[in-house]
């Protein structure tokens, strides 16, 4: 699959996996105990909140594709001061939380595929950011990756 000049293939894959995951939660049988349902949906709602807050902090820089807008600037405030790619983290927390709340092998498989896709998308995004913003190398040294060893 070609991922396009801007990385648009990653966006298609990301939204397809998010949709399939939501569909799996709705259609597949669940074996989660009640306590895990509560914990899982708490994580999922927390992840959604993180993703929305991070998207708001990006402002006019927000784009679904990994390539930043040419007229944008490097956001280094808010959640972006603490961690790189907080939107991806929020989406992964949403996926994992929902999968815990709806315990099923398919939901975990889809969450794992989403993790892999977002990891590759983040790596591509990092390369684009480094080319566009000279200060990105310093930012990358200062700001931690959320999950060590990833991208």
Fold of the 8-142 domain:
1.20.120
d(CA 101, CA 14): 21
Q: What is the pLDDT of residues 36-78, one digit of tens each?
A: 999 999 999 999 999 999 999 999 999 999 999 989 999 999 9
Rounded Cα gap, residues 45 and 34, in angstroms: 17
| pLDDT one-digit tens code per residue, 16-42 | 999 999 999 999 888 889 999 999 999
Look up residue 21 and give its two tokens: 């995951």
Task: Check: CB of residue 32 under 8 Å from CB of residue 100.
Answer: yes
pLDDT score of 1: 40
Question: Scanning the structure block, which residue is given the tokens 């603490």?
Answer: 82
Radius of gyration of the chain (CA): 16
pLDDT band at residue 90 under the 50/70/90 scheme? very high
Per-residue pLDDT averaged across 96-115, rounded?
A: 94
Q: What is the mean pLDDT of residues 120-143?
A: 92
What is the reported pTM? 0.90
Give the C-alpha separation, 3 to 86, whole Å. 22
Contact 97, 47 (CB under 8 A): yes
């Amino acid at each position: 699959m070609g991922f396009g000049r801007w990385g648009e293939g990653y966006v298609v894959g990301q939204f397809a996996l998010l949709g399939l995951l939501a569909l799996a939660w709705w259609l597949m049988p669940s074996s989660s105990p009640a306590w895990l349902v509560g914990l899982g949906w708490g994580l999922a709602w927390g992840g959604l909140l993180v993703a929305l807050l991070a998207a708001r902090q990006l402002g006019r820089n927000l784009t679904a594709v990994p390539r930043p807008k040419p007229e944008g600037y490097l956001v280094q405030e808010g959640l972006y001061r603490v961690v790189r790619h907080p939107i991806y983290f929020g989406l992964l927390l949403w996926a994992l939380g929902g999968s815990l709340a709806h315990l099923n092998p398919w939901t975990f498989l889809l969450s794992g595929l989403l993790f892999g896709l977002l990891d590759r998308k983040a790596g591509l995004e990092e390369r684009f950011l480094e080319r566009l913003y000279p200060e990105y190398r310093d930012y990358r040294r200062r700001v931690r990756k959320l999950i060590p060893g990833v991208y």
